[in-house]
Structure 1
Amino acid sequence: MRNTLIILIALSLFTACGSKKLSNKETVAEYYNAFDSGDFDKIKTVIHDSITIVSGDFVTPLNKTSFKEFYKWDSIFKPTYDLLQLTEENNNLIATISQKNIRNGFLKNNPLKLNIKVCFVSGKITKLEELDYIDVNWTAWNQQKNSLVNWIKVNHPELDGFVNDMTMMGAMNYLKAIELYENREQLDIQK
C-alpha cells in the first residue's frame, strides 16, 4: 500500500511537471526555436488549431495541415531564425526576428529582419502579423525578383508562377529558378 502511494505521488508530480503551461514569451521562443531546428512536431504544440498569417495585404488563414504546407515551403530555403527581442503589448507580443535563407540571400536582403505581432488564444499562437521590416532594401529585392521572374518567363516557362506558389513544389521551383538564373551565362556559352 505504501509503495502504491509513493508511486502515485511520483506519477502525479511527473505529470504535473511534464504539462507545465508555457508563458507567451516561452511559447514564441519555442515556436522560433522549432522553426530553426526543423521540428514541426514542436511547432504543432504551440500553435492553435487555426492560425492566421498576415503579410501586408495578404491574410492567410491556416489549420495545422495547411500550416504544415507553409512550413514545408519555408524549409526548402534552409532558413535559420534568431529571436532578437520580445516586447509585451497588451495580451500580445511583438517579436523582432532575423531570418537568413537562400531566397533572402538571392534577393540581397540576408538576413531579413522584421517585427511580428504574435496573438494568442488559450496560450497558443493564433495569429502572426508582420508589422514592419528593419533596414530592408526593397529596391534591390524587387530588382532581383523582377529580373528572375522575367528571365524565367522567357527561358523556362515551365517554372513560371513559382514566386506565388506557396507549396513545397513551388519552393523547389523557386530554388531551381534561382539556380538556372545564376548559371545563365554558363548555359548561354554551352548553347
Structure 2
Amino acid sequence: MKNILVIFIVLIISSCSEKNNTPSELITAYFKGFKNADYSQVKKTIADSLITIEGDYTMAFSRESYYEKFKWDSVFKPTYKLLSIDTQAEQTIATVSLTSLKLEFLKNSPMTCRYQFYFTSGKISKIENIACSDADWEVWEKEVNTLVQWVQRNHPELDGFIYDLSMKGAIDYVNAIALYKKSQAKAKE
C-alpha cells in the first residue's frame, strides 16, 4: 500500500512539473534569459527549430545555432526591458525596450520594438520583428556606412564585421566602434 501511495505522489509531482507554460510566461522567461545572460533559460523556451524575421531577413536556427546568435548579441552588452505582452486570439505581441553598445553607436538607443511570437508544441518557434517605432533608420544607415568605410580605410583586418554574425564578428564590431571613437576624439584635439 505504501509503494502505491509513493508511486501516486511521484506521478502527481511529475505531471505538475511538466505543465505547459503560457505564451506570456515563455516570453517573459525568454527575455529574462537574455537579461541574465543565461542561454540555458532561453533554450528552455524555444522549439527545436526557431525562425527569426527582421524586415527582409529570415533566419532559421536550431537550438545550438541560436546559441551563436545569443553569444553575438551578448558582446554588445544589451539590456532588454519587457514593457508589455499583448495576447489576442492567436497573436502574442511583446513590446521591448533595448539598449546596447551597438545601438548607442548607431544613435538609436534606447530602441522600442514590437515582436510577434509564434508557438509550436508549447515552445517559441518564430519571432517576427513587427516594428521599431522610435528607430531612425536613416541615422542608423548613415552611422553604419560611416563606420564600415572608415574600417575599410583604416583597419582592413576588421573589414566584414558587419556581415559576421559570429562572436568574433561581434567582437570585431565592438573593436571597430572603439577604434573609430578614439580616432574621432583625436581628431577633435
Q: TM-score range by the shorter chain?
A: over 0.9
**Correspondences of 1:1-191 after superposition (within 5 Å):** 1-2=1-2, 4-185=3-184
Tell me how far apart the structure 1 counterparts of residues 30 and 121 of structure 2 sit (CA, whole Å): 15
Query: Identity over the aligned pairs, expressed in percent?
Result: 35
Query: CA RMSD of the aligned region, Å?
Result: 1.7
Q: TM-score, normalised by structure 2?
A: 0.92
3-state SS of 2:16 partner: helix
Q: Is the 8 A contact 1:114 1:130 kept in 2?
A: yes
**Structure 2 residue matching 1:22: 3-state secondary structure:** coil
Q: Distance in 2 between matches of 1:44 and 1:70?
A: 12
Separation in 2, partners of 1:163, 1:177: 10
Determine helix, strand or coil for the equivalent of 1:113. strand
CA distance in 2, matches of 1:180, 1:142: 19
Structure 2 spans left out of the alignment, 5+ residues: none
Moved more, 50-59 or 131-140: 131-140
Letter in 2 for 1:75: S
Q: In the TM superposition, what whole-angstrom CA distance separates every residue of 1:157-185 from its partner, at most 9, and x where no partner exists? A: 11111111111110000000001001014
Q: Which amino acid aligns with 2:59?
A: T
Structure 2 CA distance, aligned partners of 1:110 and 1:74?
15
Work out the CA distance in 2 between the residues paired with 1:89 and 1:156. Answer: 49
Q: Distance in 2 between matches of 1:178 and 1:75?
A: 16
CA apart distance, 1:88: 1.8
Q: Which moved more, 1:140-149 or 1:163-172?
A: 140-149
Q: Distance in 2 between matches of 1:145 and 1:85?
A: 30
The answer for unaligned runs of 5 or more in structure 1 is: none
Q: Deviations for 1:117-140, whole angstroms, at most 9, x for unmatched residues?
A: 111111111111111112112232
Q: Aligned partners of 2:62, 2:184: CA distance in 1, in Å?
A: 43
Give the number of equivalent residue pairs.
Answer: 188
Residue 183 of structure 1 aligns to a residue whose secondary structure is helix
Shift of the alpha carbon at 1:186? 5.7
